[in-house]
Amino acid sequence: MDQVISLINKCAPLPVLVTTAYGLFIYKRLIEELKIFSWFLFLSGFIQLVSSLLWFNRQNNLPLLHLYVAAGFVCLAWFYASVLKDFVNQKIIWGAAILFTLFTVINSLFVQNILTFNSYALTTESVLIIILSLFTFIVLLNDIVKEKRMPLIKSLNWINSGLFIYYTSSLLIFYFGDLFTRKFPVYLNQYTWVLHAFFSLVMYSCFFVGLWKRPRN
């Protein structure tokens, strides 16, 4: 069992890196909304690559997580602002992004040190992404929107579903992440993060399909 867990942990970065590479390969052929989303992929791929190198060298990679949470949410806020630009005042989404960034900085400086798991910021990010993804689902059900965004709607549904599934499923893991790391037995901690790796695999698989089903001129 330990060998299986070790293999899963070693292979966990692959979906991220493969999807990022695919996004980079087709970037010039993407429409505006998907190009914006690709920047989230590029950030994820870069952070994952550096994080994996640190992990293999037995160095603490948690400072990267603090950076990724803040920068990743800004990228996703940019994506949702572009998708919902005709339905939501963009100032609301960008205001939430600015406030969240300030919150993560304060949390990392004064509450949860950059060498520890930033569960508060991850939990808050999860709640915000769930709200944005649910609202996007509602908007995409509108018949007028379906007609207006028909070429893009398949991609948006896959990408939005991936984000919703991942952040909904991982919410409790993020909330109790610091507790898992410090208090729980090693084997139980490993099982928890294997489950997280599975949710990540589902999300990036949805991203890949979403990019694959992109509008083609």
CA distance linking residue 165 with residue 171, whole number of Å:
10
pTM of the prediction? 0.91
Please indicate, yes or no, if residue 173 is contained in any of the structural domains.
yes
DSSP code of 114?
Answer: T
* Model confidence pLDDT, tens digit, residues 54-90: 878 888 889 999 999 999 999 999 999 999 988 888 9
164 lies in a domain?
yes
Any domain includes 205: yes
Q: Is residue 217 part of a domain?
A: no
pLDDT, average across residues 172-196: 68
Domain-located, residue 193 = yes
pLDDT, residue 85, reads 87
The reported pLDDT for the residue numbered 105 is 97
Q: Domain tally for the chain?
A: 1
Torsion over CA: 62, 209, 79, 88 (sign): negative
pLDDT digits (tens, 9 = 90+) for 176-186: 666 655 665 55
CA distances from 178 to 6, 10, 215 (A): 21, 22, 41
Question: Residue 120 belongs to a domain with what CATH number?
Answer: 1.20.1070
Indicate if the pLDDT at residue 203 is higher than 70: yes
- pLDDT for 69 equals 97
Range of the structural domain that residue 135 is part of: 2-212
Rounded distance, CA 62 to CA 47, Å? Answer: 11
Find tokens 């993560």 and name the residue. Answer: 104
DSSP E strands, 77-211: none
